[in-house]
Amino acid sequence: MEKIIMLHNVFTGARLTQAFGENPSMYKKYGLRGHEGIDFVLPGDGMIFSPISGVCVVDHDTIRGDYGIFVCLHDVQQQIMLWLCHMRYNLCDQDQRYMTGRHLGKMGNTGHSLGKHVHLMLCRVRDMKRLDYDNGYKGMIDPLGPDVQWVPNIPGTGV
């Protein structure tokens, strides 16, 4: 058994709109067994904070592509990568480190998206390469599954 992944619950008030693995027929064309992440809607103006401490390894600032404006963070300690997609904008820069609770951007509707939401994806990596790439989800695992523990916000960060 791999180590449990710890994510901080910085998404207060989030409402889940699509779980991991749902809608296989919609994701078949992408070579996936189903939805490869979780979708949720944030309350208010949709501020997105970082659920991990990690280095920005992808800073995608254009609306082109299925994920629209997105950011991918690499947590070296936990050996995971985490994506936050369809953002209205992201404040991240390539190779910069972002601590848990940092404001990363805002929820949006960019890319292949049918309304404002956050698409969060997670995978384990070794040397930046996804583990279990052949798991039917290109290595992505369920962020609400047994491998992941969501822990309360960090005291004092205000998020």
Binding site for Zn ion (CB under 5 A): 37, 39, 119
Q: Nearest residue to Zn ion, using CB?
A: 119
Rg (CA), the chain: 15
**Is the CB of 32 or the CB of 55 nearer to Zn ion?**
32
**Is the CB of 115 or the CB of 155 nearer to Zn ion?**
115
> Minimal distance in Å, beta carbon 21 to Zn ion?
11
> Minimal distance in Å, beta carbon 112 to Zn ion?
9
> Minimal distance in Å, beta carbon 11 to Zn ion?
14
Residue at token pair 């070794």: 126
Contacts of 98 (CB under 8 A, 6+ apart): 50, 53, 54, 55, 56, 73, 92, 104
**Is the CB of 39 or the CB of 75 nearer to Zn ion?**
39
> Minimal distance in Å, beta carbon 107 to Zn ion?
12
**Is the CB of 119 or the CB of 130 nearer to Zn ion?**
119
**Is the CB of 80 or the CB of 121 nearer to Zn ion?**
121
CA distance 38 to 33: 14
| Cβ contact 49:102 at 8 Å | yes
With b meaning 16 or more CB within 10 Å and e meaning fewer, what string describes 2-24?
Answer: eeebbbbebbeebeeebbbbeee
> Minimal distance in Å, beta carbon 95 to Zn ion?
26
